[in-house]
Structure 1
Amino acid sequence: MMFLNNDKISISQMVSIIILTIVGSGILTLPRELIEVAGSDGWLILIVGGLTVIGVSLVHGYIIRSFPGKSFFQILTLTLTKPIAYIVGIYTIVYFIGGTGYIIRIFAMTVNALLLPQTPPELTGLAVLLISAYLGRQGIEVLGRMAEFIIIPLSVVTLALFMLSWGHAQPSNLLPVLQTSPFEIIRGIPVVLFSFLGFELLLIFGGFIDKPKKSTKVGAIAIVMVLLLYQILNASTLVTLGQQQTKELLWPVINTFKSIELPGAFIEDVQVVVITLWIVTIFMTIAPFHLGATLLTMELAGGKEHSYYALLPLPFIGVVAAWDTSIADVYESLGTFSDYTVYGVILLVPLGILISMIIRGRKNKEDKVA
């Protein structure tokens, strides 16, 4: 057991955590972003980008498999030396804190605009942040069991809503196809990459997996499941709203479900149901990010019990969440922040670890031969 009061989590629990973390962060705006880049060929960019992300996740899984039972900070120390491990650890904490802050701000503003117009966004954000901190204190095992418990009913209800939204669908909105050049497809990959953020938690939580030898499967399974969901989401939005209307809406996914008419009208506004489902998924994005920052903070401080550190990131998250006043500014700041942190966390750091492993492996072989 790596940390006190934390048991191991299963492969299925880790997959559930990653799926829910990915979906919560960018699902509301993804169709608009895909259409802006590739029009009706967004499905193609999703496939290319999804395969790219799967390749990156395999590297993450290989690292975890090579260091069974080791935490992310321990892996950094063994491969990149302790001084560099501290620098990378702080950099990763900044990524988690900033990401959590921006997601909370988007969450609070969305709920304020669609459900609670009289409630200050700051109050809504504070409430979910405190709940996240409480869940984080309980450890990875509780988070894993919660994710595994809610993912199946959440998926069933979501797919049912998608099917109901097809009542006013116009399949011709999916045309034309294969009109996007290879250059534009490559240019659109970062959009997909940002929409799959959350798979990097495998590196942070990998030491808790009860069967680390199967770690390479975790990211691939989660990303394939999310890719299927994103394809359904993108197609449903496109056939319901069309390209032009989707491009003009801030949250096109919400508008997709406004056309649903339930038999008997026992639910007056389906939008409320959709927002409720999204609240659950975005909470399951915030909680793992917060827990990741907590665990790394504990290790950098040399602590043994992570629950004592769960409150430390909150002031910094609050500052980030309160930094911008409009939703447009929040998305712009999030984009800038992501450009400086995402590539480092999900690409450069794992590649640095992998290169170090290769060099050390060759050196060990040479020493044995000598």
Structure 2
Amino acid sequence: MVNHKESITSYQASAIIANTTLGASMMILPRAMAQAAATPDGWIALLLMSGIYIVFIFANVLMMKKVPFSSYYDYTNEGLGKWIGALANLLIIIYFLGVASYEVRAMSEMVKFFLLQNTPVAVTMISFILVGLYLVVGGIGDFARLCPFFLIVTLIILFIAYGLSVQEFKLDNLRPVLGEGFSPVFKSFNASAISFVGIEMMLFMPVYMNTQKHTFAYGAIGFLIPAIIYIFTYILVVGAFTVKETATLTWPTIALFQSFDIQGIFIERIESFLLIVWLVQLYTSFVGYTFFAAMGVSKLTKLPKKVVLTLMGIVIYFAAVFPKDVDTVRDYLTYVNNLFFLLFGILPFLLFIIVFFKRRRKAA
């Protein structure tokens, strides 16, 4: 399914992680955090969760250096055996396809709400899936070369948009800090954790890296870019709308950029650029998850590439149309988050212990 002769640089790996992590989360993160915390302290939860994930990245890098592996799918087979390993790999594939279908549904909802109100959702979804699968066919090399460009454009647009949105920001909306203690912060941990889904990509890229010397660097940089964006996004949105209003907005980040006009230049509404950029982010996130899902299906079934992608496209489409509305889509993320912690929070440490002693026993 994949061309193992392809290689990617550390810079490209960081861009892949950053683009994959961003996805649709930035558009709904402030609402989810505001609903969970009910206080302005969600930024503290994001800051603490960022620190936890940096430790997670560091621990995984240490384990990968101590017990090297080329593919995470092969790693699970080595640690858990043929049958249990195949079941774990199947869960990983389901998780990847679940996230990919979420990106498709989030894209369709955004396009229908802001851009193409009269276009059937099915047409939008199918077009998005087909264009995404086209890039997957090209392999990780094409995807890796595209991600840095998309990321730079995204950062430039966000830098301009955030700079302009400062005029709506009111510091008093973020006060008092820890007015109700740490309890609201802990309540919003789960909402913040979902937003960082994407960091697990670092476990699947060693086989494609042209050097393994900078694993922690590319993982940490790729994670910190969206982490910083999320923190600034939450602070700006809540600072502009207050926590109570943010909790009621469907797309709070876009609402922020709709709340002010820019006079005297060729474009008066910056959210037009933001929507285009975020469609690109949804696309790159979709391609990343679909690519690594296809990699797993190929290893599991040995089916031809065209058959794998066709089946995956059908599964992703029906999984995307299954939720009834936007709120159901957000509930859907809860299951994805649970799988994330099981497969990439607990399983890597379990595999490390098992494989470490297995290899030690064989070497004895």
Task: Please confirm whether the aligned pair reaches a TM-score higher than 0.5, indicating the same fold.
Answer: yes
What's 2:6 paired with? 7
Residue number in structure 1 paired with 2:18: 19
Equivalence for 2:340: 342
More displaced 10-residue stretch of structure 1: 75-84 or 167-176: 75-84
What do the CA deviations read for 1:33-57 (whole angstroms, capped 9, x no partner)?
2222332111110111111122222
Using the alignment, how far apart are the partners of 1:242 and 1:215 within structure 2? 39
CA deviation profile, 1:119-176 (whole Å, cap 9, x unmatched): 1111111111111100001111111110012211220111111100112322221211
CA offset digits 1:176-216 (Å, max 9, x no partner) = 11224334433322211110001111112231111123222
Match of 1:79 in 2: 79
CA-to-aligned-CA distance 1:8-54 (integer Å, 9 cap, x gap): 11111111011111111311111122222332111110111111122
Unaligned runs of 5+ in 1: none
Q: Is the Cα contact below 8 Å between 1:68 and 1:212 reproduced in 2?
A: no
Deviations 1:97-122 (A, max 9, x none): 11111221121011101111001111
CA distance in 1, matches of 2:5, 2:140: 6
Question: Residues 307 and 202 of structure 1: is their aligned pair in 2 closer, same or farther, counting only changes over 3 Å?
Answer: farther
2:349 corresponds to: 351
Identity percentage of aligned residues: 22
- 2:288 corresponds in structure 1 to 288
Q: How far 1:265 sits from its partner (Å)?
A: 4.5
Does the C-alpha gap of structure 1 residues 32 and 105 become closer, same or farther in structure 2, counting only changes over 3 Å?
same
Q: Could you tell me how far apart the structure 2 residues matched to 1:5 and 1:204 are?
A: 12
**Cα distance in 1 between the residues matched to 2:358 and 2:142:** 37
For 1:247, give the aligned amino acid: A
Q: Which residue of the partner structure matches residue 138 of structure 2?
A: 138
Q: Work out whether 1:316 is the aligned partner of 2:315.
A: yes
Task: Specify the alignment match of 1:243 in structure 2.
Answer: 243
Match of 2:233 in 1: 233
Deviates more, 1:325-334 or 1:8-17: 325-334
State the AA in 2 paired with 1:49: M
Distance 1:113 1:71 in 2: 40
CA contact (8 A) 2:2 2:295 kept: no
Tell me the equivalent position of 2:150.
Answer: 150
- 8 A contact 1:166–1:236 mirrored in 2: yes
> TM-score, normalized by length of structure 2?
0.93
Give the 3-state SS of the residue equivalent to 1:176 in structure 2.
Answer: coil
Contact 1:291 1:310 in 2 (8 A): no
Distance in 2 of aligned mates of 1:42 and 1:111: 28
CA RMSD of aligned residues (A): 2.1
**Matching residue of 1:119:** 119
- Tell whether the 8 Å contact from 2:98 to 2:319 is kept in structure 1 after alignment: yes
Aligned to 2:205: 205
TM-score for both structures, normalised by structure 1: 0.91
Letter in 2 for 1:299: K
Partner in structure 1 of residue 186 of structure 2:
186
Q: CA distance change for structure 1 residues 183 and 171 in 2, over 3 Å: closer, same or farther?
A: closer
CA apart distance, 1:361: 5.7
1:29-178 paired onto structure 2 within 5 Å: 29-38=28-37, 39-66=39-66, 70-178=70-178
Range with bigger deviation, 321-330 or 136-145: 321-330
Aligned residues: 363
Task: Give the Cα–Cα distance (whole angstroms) in 2 for the partners of residues 155 and 97 of structure 1.
Answer: 27
Pair 1:284–1:67, CA change in 2 (3 A): farther
Counterparts of 1:288 and 1:275, CA distance in 2: 20
- For residues 180 and 72 of structure 2, what CA distance do their matches in structure 1 show? 40
